Amino acid sequence: MTSSPTRPDCRHFDDSGKENIANFARRSFKDSENLGRRPFNPTLAVEGSEIGREGREVLLNILLNSCIQCKQVEKAIEIVEFLLRDTTNNFFHVDEVSFNTLIKGCAQAQMVHRAKQLFEKMRKLGLTPTYVTFNSLIDVFVRCNQMDEAWRYFSLMRSSGLKPDNFTVSTLVKGIKPSARQLSAGLRLGAKSSPLP
């Protein structure tokens, strides 16, 4: 069995950092091919131009996820913003998965404002939010105790034609915290009830 590649150091995203992350992605592709999860020829990643569009999307999303795992969410966002500004970029295609990865990273880092910005940018680009998009947005609001916003995005999810799944419900339940008065009333009610046989 192949060991998983060492995560790259994303703190300094200069040319050597880019190469470090690219090498990590190449090793990841090689490992996934060896494990039979996703066939991919890592030599094409090295040559670059021969990778098909799907391979380039996967490569970009692995690069973004590598930054997220290194707790470098802003660096991942910078990469996407750069690619969206670069009119000469014909190699990498920013897609729904790219935005979902960034929004999920924002949830983990409790970056509410950035998550909302990314969601609006995604919609402005004509990309369709998915279950992962809405669940990650709801998660960031729950983590930051902004339940009104969580419920607003829950409603937006439903109006988009997506039905809440188990993740949606469990995330919302985590955010429902009883007030001190409700807790006290519940304890009094429990004390007054008859013991179970």
Q: Does 70 map to a domain? A: yes
Q: Are residues 82 and 118 in the same domain?
A: no
Q: When comparing pLDDT for 43 and 66, which is higher?
A: 66
3-class SS letters over 41-64: CHHHHHHCCCCCHHHHHHHHHHHH
> Comparing 71 with 1, which gets the higher pLDDT?
71
In this predicted model, which residue has the larger pLDDT, 86 or 186? Answer: 86
Condensed to tens digits (0 to 9), the pLDDT of residues 88-125 reads: 766 677 889 999 999 999 999 999 999 999 999 999 99
**pLDDT score at 53:** 63
Q: Which domain holds residue 150?
A: 96-178
Instruction: Tally helices (H) and strands (E) across the chain.
Output: 10, 0
In the chain, % of residues over pLDDT 90: 36
Last residue of a domain, one of 31, 65, 94: 94
Region 1-12: mean pLDDT is: 45
- pLDDT at position 27: 57
Dihedral, 40, 44, 49, 54 alpha carbons, nearest 10: 0
54-65 pLDDT, tens digit each? 666 777 888 888
Closest CA to 95 of 67, 121, 113: 121
Q: What is the pTM of this model?
A: 0.67
pLDDT at 85: 82
Domain check: are 104 and 140 in the same one? yes
Give the HSE-up count for residue 123: Cα atoms under 13 Å, Cβ half-sphere: 10
Domain boundary among 68, 94, 120: 94
Q: Quick one: 108 and 59 in the same domain?
A: no
Instruction: Report d(CA 33, CA 178) in Å as an integer.
Output: 48
User: How many angstroms separate the first and last alpha carbons of the chain?
Assistant: 54
Q: Of 3-7, 134-138, 174-178, which gets the smallest average pLDDT?
A: 3-7
